[in-house]
């Protein structure tokens, strides 16, 4: 694919994406202890409203990936996300690792995710992000067959691209990276120290600037329960400010970026 053209003669694209895992981030690790789970609840009840306010103030429309379990547990959170003009994408049921599922279970969970999100968000999800960014070799063809438009999982490029055709359909890939994710720096599981927010923010800004330089797509992945703590929320605000002040960057939802890529295919 030749260099992508973005709207308003932008030279690069940027997306703010949030994985609203809530308790499932811990449940998927086999944890049922109440204090550990309460960290997940913080994301849905305490952090999400502030994140939505921040996005509104910067006029950023974002993409939220929500496990089906979370949509059923926090229906008002899904409503608030949709009311803010944001996208709701598919992210498993209880945040199970797709790479560990058999074929039947993987498809059952995908169907349930589509059904639950469609019911709560009022719109069928068109994007898929695998819990913990782990796919099986069946996942991409399965998504294509179930009518998805894009995957936001792979880490092989700085700009979006199209996957090979499956049953007459090609999925758009909107590539991500652990570098632009908050979890590797801040998720605390008792095994290593939490990092200071300042240097992490500087790293994100440098990575963003580099992606803009090559005309790619800077796709940030945040978790409300992680980025929503006040010290990190301050980073999110500074980052949004930096992105919005950078000339000729198109900040959009992943489904909008995906549609733009497909148009040019």
Contact footprint for Zn ion (CB under 5 A): 19, 21, 131
Least distance in angstroms from the C-beta of 95 to Zn ion: 6
Alpha carbon distances (Å) from 1 to 144, 155, 159, 172, 256: 20, 17, 10, 12, 18
d(CA 174, CA 129): 10
Least distance in angstroms from the C-beta of 60 to Zn ion: 20
Residue nearest to Zn ion (CB): 19
Q: Are the beta carbons of 127 and 148 closer than 8 angstroms?
A: yes
Least distance in angstroms from the C-beta of 174 to Zn ion: 16
Residue 78: CB atoms within 10 Å: 23
Buried b (16+ CB within 10 A) or exposed e, 3-34: ebebeeebbbbbbbbbbbbbbbbbbbeebeee
Least distance in angstroms from the C-beta of 45 to Zn ion: 17
| Identity of the residue, 181 or 261, whose beta carbon is nearer to Zn ion in the bound complex | 181
How many helices (H) and strands (E) in the chain?
12, 9
Q: Are the beta carbons of 37 and 26 closer than 8 angstroms?
A: yes
Q: Which residues are CB-contacts of 166 (< 8 A; sequence separation ≥ 6)?
A: 140, 141, 144, 145
| Identity of the residue, 70 or 243, whose beta carbon is nearer to Zn ion in the bound complex | 70
d(CA 195, CA 103): 38
Residue 75: CB atoms within 10 Å: 14
Least distance in angstroms from the C-beta of 230 to Zn ion: 22
Least distance in angstroms from the C-beta of 131 to Zn ion: 5
| Identity of the residue, 128 or 250, whose beta carbon is nearer to Zn ion in the bound complex | 128
d(CA 96, CA 100): 8
| Identity of the residue, 26 or 250, whose beta carbon is nearer to Zn ion in the bound complex | 26
| Identity of the residue, 3 or 155, whose beta carbon is nearer to Zn ion in the bound complex | 155
| Identity of the residue, 19 or 173, whose beta carbon is nearer to Zn ion in the bound complex | 19
| Identity of the residue, 131 or 258, whose beta carbon is nearer to Zn ion in the bound complex | 131
| Identity of the residue, 41 or 145, whose beta carbon is nearer to Zn ion in the bound complex | 41
Least distance in angstroms from the C-beta of 164 to Zn ion: 26
Least distance in angstroms from the C-beta of 55 to Zn ion: 19
- Helices (DSSP H) in the chain: which residue ranges? 24-27, 34-42, 48-57, 68-73, 75-83, 103-121, 139-145, 183-186, 197-213, 224-227, 230-245, 254-263
């Amino acid at each position: 694919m030749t260099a992508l053209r973005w709207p308003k003669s932008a030279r690069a694209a940027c997306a703010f994406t949030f994985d609203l895992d809530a308790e499932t981030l811990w449940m998927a690790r086999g944890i049922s202890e109440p204090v550990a789970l309460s960290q997940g609840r913080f994301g849905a009840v305490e952090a999400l409203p502030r994140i939505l306010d921040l996005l509104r103030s910067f006029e950023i429309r974002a993409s939220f990936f929500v496990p089906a379990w979370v949509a059923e547990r926090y229906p008002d959170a899904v409503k608030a996300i949709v009311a803010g003009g944001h996208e709701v994408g598919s992210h498993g049921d209880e945040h199970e690792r797709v790479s560990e599922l058999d074929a039947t279970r993987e498809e059952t969970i995908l169907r349930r995710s589509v059904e639950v999100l469609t019911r709560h968000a009022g719109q069928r999800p068109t994007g898929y992000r695998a819990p913990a960014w782990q796919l099986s070799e069946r996942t991409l063809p399965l998504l294509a067959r179930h009518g998805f438009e894009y995957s936001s999982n792979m880490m092989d490029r700085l700009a979006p691209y199209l996957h090979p055709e499956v049953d007459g359909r090609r999925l758009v890939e909107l590539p991500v990276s652990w570098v632009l994710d908050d979890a590797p720096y801040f998720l605390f599981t008792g095994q290593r120290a939490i990092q200071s927010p300042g240097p992490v923010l500087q790293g994100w800004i440098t990575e963003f600037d580099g992606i803009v330089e090559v005309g790619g797509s800077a796709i940030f992945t945040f978790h409300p329960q992680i980025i929503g703590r006040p010290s990190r929320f301050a980073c999110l605000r500074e980052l949004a400010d930096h992105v919005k002040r950078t000339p000729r960057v198109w900040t959009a939802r992943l489904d909008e970026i995906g549609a733009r890529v497909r148009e040019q295919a």
